[in-house]
Amino acid sequence: MEFDYYEILEISRDADAEVIKKAYRKLALKYHPDRNQGDKEAEEKFKLINEAYEVLSNSEKRDIYDKYGKDGLNSNGFSGFDSDFDLGDIFSSFFGGSFSSRSGGRRSSDKYNLDIETIVNLEFNEAVFGCEKEIKYSFKTPCQTCNGTGSKDGKKATCSHCAGRGKISHRQGFMSFVQTCPYCNGSGETIKEKCKDCGGNGFKQEEDSIKISIPEGVDTGTRIRVSGKGNKGLGGTGDLYVRVNVKDDDHFVRNGDDVYIEIPVFFTQAMLGETIKIPTLRGDADLRLPVGAKDKQQFIFENEGVKNAHTKKNGRLVVQIAINTPKKLTDEQKELLEKLQKSFGVKSGTTSEDGIFDKIKSWFK
């Protein structure tokens, strides 16, 4: 059975990131298995909520889902969703603490996340066609003086508050919570005297740069993973995630893989149905206007949009014309237009549909 992720989270299709997050928190709390023990229906609902949130909270996955549905996600390598969410993650978003209904061991020996993120700003054409960019970023590495312990002598003592467990139990009414020990931040260990080189942090900040290839078709919000270029820790090295931000173009407006542009057209060109030159992403093209083309009329050029980074298919170029009429006329131009008007049988001071006045008059008879 195919489920709609928006319906699962009970949100509209234009919901922003904050609305999605709030809806997820509310439903995850309601249907979490620890609150509905033995309820298989609640357990399945909870899995669907997590699956929906994993897709809709990720701009790249959401874009694919909106265009191609769940099949599009599977064909782009996004199959397999992680439904193992800890109730503590949800509580922490409300109360600022780290709560868990599960018994657990110590946290990682690293004091910081190994994965890091930085932002790269791209010009419109760089995002459309791809480019190479040199990225400067900073990362953490364990202090060599104290071997990442933060302690002057390189040794740590067992935390007396949690007895080395890294967690402290609390009971509130009928519910029992396990909170990360605030005295040792869940490590189960404390230091007596801080390392002077790192101030007790256990790490130092370093800077580096790397040249990366930006694939064509990326858009604002796209994340590019660079393996092994994140923070360095005692337990290994994380990844660097480069988040893309695309600057607006002066002429083209992008919506997904489609590109829009407005072209000024003089009124006589529209009346005569002339062929005009228009700019596209890949050079000029001819647009044959129909005789009597209308203001704001749109014309579609298939495969002239942005190449999708996943499907490798091009979007559309949508050209909208804006008909310009002169605001000032010479005597000669005015005379020519009056002659043209008479040639169409249009009398000065009336509309082209005189019958409308007779119709309105009949309303009052």
Averaged pLDDT for residues 228-238: 91
How much of the chain exceeds pLDDT 90, in percent?
46
125-129, 230-234, 302-306, 308-312: segment of lowest average pLDDT:
308-312
The pLDDT, as a whole number, for residue 102 is 37
CB 194 within 8 A of CB 149: no
The pLDDT, as a whole number, for residue 59 is 85
Contacts of 132 (CB under 8 A, 6+ apart): 211, 212, 213, 214
Averaged pLDDT for residues 339-350: 81
Report the distance separating Cα 90 and Cα 86, nearest Å. 7
The pLDDT, as a whole number, for residue 135 is 94
Q: What is the mean pLDDT of the chain?
A: 83
Q: Is the pLDDT of residue 79 over 70?
A: no
Pairing of strands 232-233, 236-237: antiparallel
Q: Is the pLDDT of residue 307 over 70?
A: yes
Which one-letter DSSP state was computed for residue 33? G
Q: What confidence tier does 99 reach under pLDDT thresholds 50, 70, 90?
A: very low
159 is in an annotated binding site: yes
The pLDDT, as a whole number, for residue 136 is 95
- The pTM of this model reads 0.59
The pLDDT, as a whole number, for residue 263 is 96
Q: Is the pLDDT of residue 35 over 80?
A: no
Domains of the chain as residue ranges with CATH: 5-81 (1.10.287.110), 109-150+202-247 (2.60.260.20), 156-191 (2.10.230.10), 248-364 (2.60.260.20)
Largest alpha-carbon pair distance within the chain? 104
143 is in an annotated binding site: yes
Exposure string (b/e) for 57-72, b if CB count within 10 Å is 16 or more?
A: ebebbbbbbeebebeb
Q: What confidence tier does 72 reach under pLDDT thresholds 50, 70, 90?
A: low
The pLDDT, as a whole number, for residue 36 is 77
23-27, 95-99, 211-215, 282-286: segment of lowest average pLDDT:
95-99
Which tens digits make up the pLDDT trace of 118-175? 999 999 999 999 999 999 999 999 999 998 888 888 888 888 888 888 888 766 555 5
Q: What confidence tier does 333 reach under pLDDT thresholds 50, 70, 90?
A: very high
131 is in an annotated binding site: no
